[in-house]
Amino acid sequence: MRPPSSPGFLASIRARRGALLAASRGAFAVLGVLLGEGAARAQALPSFDARTFRPSADPSASLVYEPVGTPGPWLWNVGAGLGYAHRAVVLRGARTGDEAFVPVRNQLSLDLVGGLGLGTRGFVGVAVPLALAQEGSGDLPANTSTARRVPTTALGDVALHGKASVIDNRDGGLGVAALGAVSLPTGSQESFLGEGAVTAQGRVLASYSFVLAELSGSLGYKLRTARRVWPDPGGARFGDEIPFSLSLTLRPSVLRLDAANRQRWEASLHGWVPAGPVAPFGLGDERSPPLSPAMLALSDRVELGRQRDLYVVVGVDLGLGSAIGVPSFRGLVQLGWSPRTHDEDGDGIPDDVDQCRQIPEDRDGFEDSDGCPEID
């Protein structure tokens, strides 16, 4: 063994130190490239999700309306929604309001959803948005889009949903639920489908059910972990939001238009207003109107098949105003499958003949075969 002071030993130490320094420089170079790519991706424009419609994962939901109840223990569902939006994203002059560019003129989208009931009051779900085909203005300014033209196809930000039913109103009356959603930065930031950062949202849902009709509303708060300015610089400042919805649903069977009680009509007002850094409704900032979308949704939900495990929702979403992401017209068709026990209210009358599937028959000796309790 060479003594520590020998020339050969010192040369070996110097060689090892040189190799270690070279490896360190290489590692830092690779890390720098990765960080540089991440920074470049983080700076991609527009880097916000301009969609103003996001489907619920609950199988009993319509376009906007969502019940306060949950499916039930370990009951699962899957679904897909196809949508077409005309003039989905329009850029207007900040001062004149005149149309400058239409980054997304036509968009064909697909939303895949799935969910699972947890106990009698819990529900979790996932939603995966996709742009199947989209097009818009070309040669977009550099401060509007990094890609200069919206990509034809793209993946959006995947969202995780949760619901906790606080007061169930299947038998009528007041119902309350808590809703939550977290979006993950999986989407294309050049496609107006990706935030490039995590977002989190919480809402309180309240409704009053008249059995065959229901009035419901929700109010919440959406937190953006990364705020955006679009177009950059000097454009709309995307920050936190206050989402809202107001829905009226009606079963046409009450009007004797649906003897099998398979349908539910919906009329909903939905949207949000900015919570910061821009004040809502134009208060204190002239750029808040583009950040205050509002839409009117009209839909018909129809249960299919003898067992009613299949359902379809057909509807339209009409833009009110000219906020960013509000289309002039959006058409939607959703198809879902949610296997059930086929006697939802447990009154012994199968759902395919039960005219009140969520309300048990009262067995009072009068019309006990229709599945609906009678008003004594």
List, for residues 315-373, the tens digit of each pLDDT value: 999 999 889 999 999 999 999 999 987 666 766 677 667 778 767 867 766 666 676 87
The pLDDT of residue 234? 74
**131, 107 in Cβ contact below 8 A?**
yes
What residues pair up with 101 in beta bridges, in sequence order?
91
pLDDT beyond 80 at 80: yes
Q: Which amino acid is at 204?
A: V
Mean pLDDT to the nearest integer, 2-19: 51
The pLDDT of residue 20? 47
The pLDDT of residue 162? 98
The pLDDT of residue 45? 87
**301, 311 in Cβ contact below 8 A?**
yes
What residues pair up with 126 in beta bridges, in sequence order?
114, 160
Contacts of 82 (CB under 8 A, 6+ apart): 108, 109, 110, 332, 333, 334
Instruction: Give percent of the chain with pLDDT exceeding 70.
Output: 78
CA–CA distance, 114 with 338 (Å, rounded to integer): 10
pLDDT beyond 60 at 34: no
Mean pLDDT to the nearest integer, 81-106: 85
CA–CA distance, 332 with 85 (Å, rounded to integer): 9
Mean pLDDT to the nearest integer, 238-261: 93
Q: Which amino acid is at 266?
A: E
Mean pLDDT to the nearest integer, 208-231: 92
Furthest CA-CA distance within the chain? 108
**Of the candidates 27, 125, 60, the residue with the CA atom closest to the CA atom of residue 336:** 60
Mean pLDDT to the nearest integer, 163-167: 97
Question: For residue 31, which phi and psi values (nearest 5 degrees)?
Answer: -60, -40
Structure tokens at 312: 């379809």
Structure tokens at 313: 């929702």
Using the 8-state DSSP alphabet, how is residue 282 labeled? G
Strand locations in the chain, DSSP E? 76-92, 99-118, 122-135, 154-155, 159-167, 173-183, 199-209, 213-224, 228-230, 236-238, 240-250, 263-276, 294-304, 310-320, 329-337
Mean pLDDT to the nearest integer, 270-277: 88
The pLDDT of residue 328? 93
pLDDT beyond 50 at 28: no
Q: Which of 96-105, 244-253, 287-296 has the highest mean pLDDT?
A: 244-253
Contacts of 140 (CB under 8 A, 6+ apart): 101, 103, 147, 148, 149
Residue whose tokens read 């705020």: 227
pLDDT beyond 60 at 39: no
The pLDDT of residue 37? 38
* Count of other CB atoms within 10 angstroms of residue 362: 15
CA angle at 230 for the pair 229 and 232, rounded to the nearest 5°: 75
Better pLDDT: 102 or 353: 102
pLDDT beyond 80 at 288: no
**100, 92 in Cβ contact below 8 A?**
yes
Question: For residue 19, which phi and psi values (nearest 5 degrees)?
Answer: -65, -40
pLDDT beyond 60 at 13: no
Q: What is the mean pLDDT of the chain?
A: 85
pLDDT tens digits, residue range 110-145?
999 999 999 999 999 999 999 999 999 988 888 889
Structure tokens at 373: 């309790």
Residue 150, Ramachandran bin (φ over 0: left; ψ between -120 and 50: alpha; else beta): beta
CA angle at 56 for the pair 54 and 61, rounded to the nearest 5°: 130
Cα–Cα distance list, 241 to 157, 199, 202, 275, 303 (Å)? 17, 11, 11, 5, 34
Using the 8-state DSSP alphabet, how is residue 279 labeled? P
Q: How confident is the model at residue 232 (pLDDT cuts 50, 70, 90)?
A: confident
CA–CA distance, 218 with 204 (Å, rounded to integer): 6
